[in-house]
Amino acid sequence: MTDADSRGLFVVGTGTGVGKTVVTAGLTGWLRARGRDAVAVKPCQTGYPPDDDAAFVADACGTDAAATCLRRLEPALAPEVAADVADADLSYDEIRSGVRAAVAAHDVGVVEGIGGLRVPLADGEEVLDLVADLGLPALVVARSGLGTLNHTGLTVDALRANGVPVHGIVLNEYQGATVAERTNPDVLEGMTDAPVWTLPPLDLAAPSEAVSGVREHLPPTALSAVGEF
């Protein structure tokens, strides 16, 4: 199976803490509720413990089968830097082949990035290189307020310059409280020619709220990249 033949989506962010894990959990749980054998794949988790994105997805979906993490490193740094600080081996080829195998072993793979696209991953390669090598369409998760136009536009440009199709953009924690928030969706659609969807703040005291919230607020076309409508 080639990457192009795989059913999957790469959830990328404009930076750290923008909501990639919430969107990943929501999409994975939504797909599983529709009967798809979907798995969330975290190529590398840094800041572990306490950070564990795959564990959050598994909790949100109610089963450990919903998520896997290939590597975990303690320093809360970019993976390549964290591996250097921890004196740990981290191979880009192993990460890439591991993600490919995880996606190929399931009906659908939802791969979650690490920080933004230019984050150093391993062996001089960045998260952007992994996205491009896997050949999966990307869903961009960004903040909703002032400053997101530049960060999101540059992220979309970088993906397309590397041959990655952009499936859509999710503006996370959208409340429409400022003029910037209210105008950003339409402006971004004009800038990027990509669909822009908004996701309000969710009460994540119960991780399952990520699944119900994403399913409630994103349109079914958000799943069209993996054959669901």
Query: Is 8 labeled as ligand-binding?
Result: no
Distances (CA, A) of 53 to 44, 59, 111: 10, 10, 11
Residue 46 is labelled as binding a ligand: yes
| 17 known member of a binding site | yes
Q: Which of 32, 36, 42, 100 is catalytic?
A: 42
Closest-CA residue to 198 (of 219, 223, 221):
219
C-alpha–C-alpha distance, residues 212 and 223, integer Å: 15
Q: Is 74 annotated as a binding-site member?
A: no
Q: Is 26 annotated as a binding residue?
A: no
Whether residue 113 is annotated as binding a ligand: the answer is yes
Judge whether 114 is annotated as a binding position: yes
Cβ atoms < 10 Å from Cβ of 172: 23
Judge whether 20 is annotated as a binding position.
Answer: yes
CB of 88 closer than 8 Å to CB of 120: no
Query: In 105-219, which ranges are continuous DSSP H helix?
Result: 127-134, 148-161, 179-192, 208-217
Residue 22 known to bind ligand = yes
- Is residue 126 part of an annotated ligand binding site? no
What pairs with residue 38 in β-bridges? 108
Amino acid at 193: D
Catalytic site includes residue 42: yes
What contacts 187, CB < 8 A, 6 or more positions away? 149
User: What are the catalytic residues?
Assistant: 42
Binding residues for substrate: 46
Binding residues: 17-22, 46, 53, 112-115, 172-173
Binding residues for ATP: 17-22, 53, 112-115, 172-173
Binding residues for Mg(2+): 21, 53, 112
